Structure 1
Amino acid sequence: MFKAIDPRFRVSCLVLGLALAGCERRAETPVAPAAAPPPAAPALTPPSIGRNDLLNAIAVARSAYAAGQPDTAESLTGRQFAIRQAFGCAGPAEDVREGLARWFLDTKRRTIDIRLTPADWTTAPVVAGGDGAWEAVEGFWLSRPWLASDDCPAPKIGPATAPAGAAATATAPVAGLASVFKAEGSRVGRRDGRAYELTLRGEPVPEPPIGGYRLLLEGRFVGFPDGRTIHCQSPGVDAEPVCVAAAEVDRVAIEDASGKLLREWRGG
């Protein structure tokens, strides 16, 4: 004979069954995947140093040197640069000056010849005294360091108004870029006294440029053996210090006043 099932047992089984069914349903419920972390922000590359930026850094270094104080300005070492400056603004040159771009008009050959011979600064006091890591140093002067613009100065018409005793002619360069070459480094790009040269031809004669030409230097700043990017030197307390920035120059280019590329040299 079968015994009657206790109603309480039936209720317990029913409750247990419902609980198990609920567990199964919860187990089958898909779990939303965790949200993916936001992508990392790309590293921002500092903008290239331009002519005005370099002149400002040189002004700070020059003042600190003259005052006998440490240069506390932010180091430029490792920063990329694109230094553009105008030349030939007053017309053709009469002579060649090392470290400065010049242009010459040859009416017989009907050419305009552009020439830039880097200066040999290997033994110059402003870059000497290192640890021998640099085998050669070739220099480029920054013309008109009082002018922040990359363009030619505005023409001045009328009599000179400078007070007595002021300089009436072009002054000697006092700011420059020292292109350095390591002893164990590649010799590609070293000029070793050779000029960057470009010849423009025309019929009957090339038109003289309106607004001069542009010299463009591109590369990366490096540090002197003491870690500084800029070194200054002065022959006396009343003489303006000459300051140069150490760099590895990767590209030299000549442009017209509109920015049109006329010729470039890579690798130094």
Structure 2
Amino acid sequence: MSDRAVNASIGPRRTGLPGLACAAGLALAACGDRQPSAPPAPPEPAPQSTAPLADPILDRGAILSAVDSEASRAAAGLAPPASDPLANRRFRMRIAFGCLGPEAPPPEGVSDAGAPRWSRSADGRVIRLRFTPADWTAGDATGPAVEGFERVGGVWINQPWMRTGGCPAPGLPVMDTFALPASPKVGLALLRGEGASRLGRADDRAFTFTVRGQGDAPAPNPVRGYRLVLEGRLIPWAEGRVIRCRVARADSRPACAVGVVLDRLAYEDGATGETLSEWRPG
């Protein structure tokens, strides 16, 4: 061991006990004139924003939950609240279709307006998506015509008991929807005022899109069908309410329609969510 190392190791023994006592007492009291330092001041709280938070966009689940509540109120004969909290809220509704494959045209005399569908061309090479709004200008399943709108289109919300916008679970038993008797349903009333955008209006124009395959290959069947996407605002329409329900029978669910103004209509691939085509006002 070097001299320097030895001297360093025995150096503290020459300081005596007073220095050690002072060092040991720093946690409890000051040594000599030294005072304990003051604790640091707490950080200033970050300023809170006073800007109001934007209302979230209402999705399929939120809209159908509101429809359930309104249907329950109507069936119980309860008066609606003084104001409608849904008025002018933004929404985005997804409606899955074609989950079981291509759909045959409806029987003669039966209209498929109000429901999106897809089918193959005669040569089987391309898939055609089609949606035509139903004409509810003269009234709908929830009641007579509403004044103040030039046209009222309609779209049925399929599987209204499902809160998600995808296809039902595969393998469930199904029936041909055209073979079922008509019954009250849930729908969106597509409202169009004088001179407003033609988006979603009820007439003989359909919203169509053609899906093609790669190269010379035919378009493949979709894995999880397609989705019709409707976006816009919820609008008070019948009796100043966004949702109108009509009770036809005490033992049946009321028919309900939700008043909306569209600013976007689109088709999506049901598996990937890719936007295939869209329409906007203008």
- Map of 1:82 onto structure 2: 92
Separation in structure 1 between the aligned mates of residue 223 and residue 48 of structure 2, nearest angstrom: 50
What SS does the aligned partner of 1:99 have? coil
In structure 2, what is the equivalent of residue 242 of structure 1? 255
Asked if structure 1 preserves the Cα contact closer than 8 Å seen for 2:90 and 2:234, the reply is yes
1:68 Cα deviation after fit: 1.4
Match of 1:134, SS? coil
- Contact 1:75-1:229 within 8 A present in 2 as well: no
How far apart are 1:46 and its partner, in Å?
Answer: 0.7
Match of 1:118 among 125, 133, 140: 133
Change (3 A) 1:178 1:243: same
Partner of 1:153: 168
Unmatched 5+ residue regions in structure 2?
A: 1-46, 107-111
- Structure 1 residues 212 and 230, CA, compared in 2 at 3 Å: closer, same or farther? same
The 4+ residue runs of structure 1 with deviation greater than 4 A are 167-173
Aligned to 2:268: 255
Q: Give 5+ residue unaligned stretches, structure 1.
A: 1-37, 161-166
Partner of 1:48: 57
Task: Report the equivalent of 2:144.
Answer: 128
Alignment CA distance shift 1:123-1:47 (3 Å): same
1:63, CA displacement in angstroms?
A: 1.3
Q: Kindly report the root-mean-square deviation, in angstroms, between the aligned alpha carbons of the 2 structures.
A: 2.4
The answer on 1:223 being equivalent to 2:274 is: no
Deviation sequence 1:184-206 (CA, Å, 0-9, x none): 33243235221100111223311
Cα offset for 1:133? 0.8
Q: How many residues align?
A: 221
1:186 correspondence with 2:196: yes
User: Counterparts of 1:267 and 1:206 in 2: how far apart (Å)?
Assistant: 30
**Contact 2:84 2:242 (C-alpha < 8 Å) held by counterparts:** no
Look up the SS of the partner of 2:75 in the other structure: helix
Contact 2:154 2:202 in 1 (8 A): no
The separation in 1 between residues aligned to 2:204 and 2:67, in whole angstroms, is: 26
Once the two structures are TM-superposed, the CA of residue 74 in structure 1 deviates from its matched residue by 5.4
What is the match of residue 186 of structure 2? 175
TM-score w.r.t. length of structure 1: 0.75
Q: Which amino acid aligns with 1:180?
A: L
Give the superposition deviation at 1:253.
0.3
What amino acid is the match of 2:50? A
CA contact (8 A) 1:118 1:195 kept: yes
Q: Provide the TM-score with structure 2 as the length reference.
A: 0.72
Aligned to 2:206: 195
- Deviation string 1:135-163 (CA, Å, 9 cap, x unpaired) is 11001111101111111111126xx6xxx
Instruction: Quote the Cα distance in structure 2 between the aligned partners of 1:141 and 1:84.
Output: 11
Deviations 1:20-48 (A, max 9, x none): xxxxxxxxxxxxxxxxxx68522211100
Does the 8 Å CA contact 2:84/2:241 hold for their aligned counterparts? no
Asked if structure 1 preserves the Cα contact closer than 8 Å seen for 2:136 and 2:153, the reply is yes
After TM superposition, the structure 1 stretch with the greater mean CA deviation from structure 2, 48-57 or 148-157, is: 148-157
Amino acid at match of 1:63: S
Q: Could you tell me how far apart the structure 2 residues matched to 1:116 and 1:81 are? A: 19
Distance 1:50 1:141 in 2: 16
Displacement of 1:64 after TM fit?
Answer: 1.3
1:143 and 2:158 correspond: yes
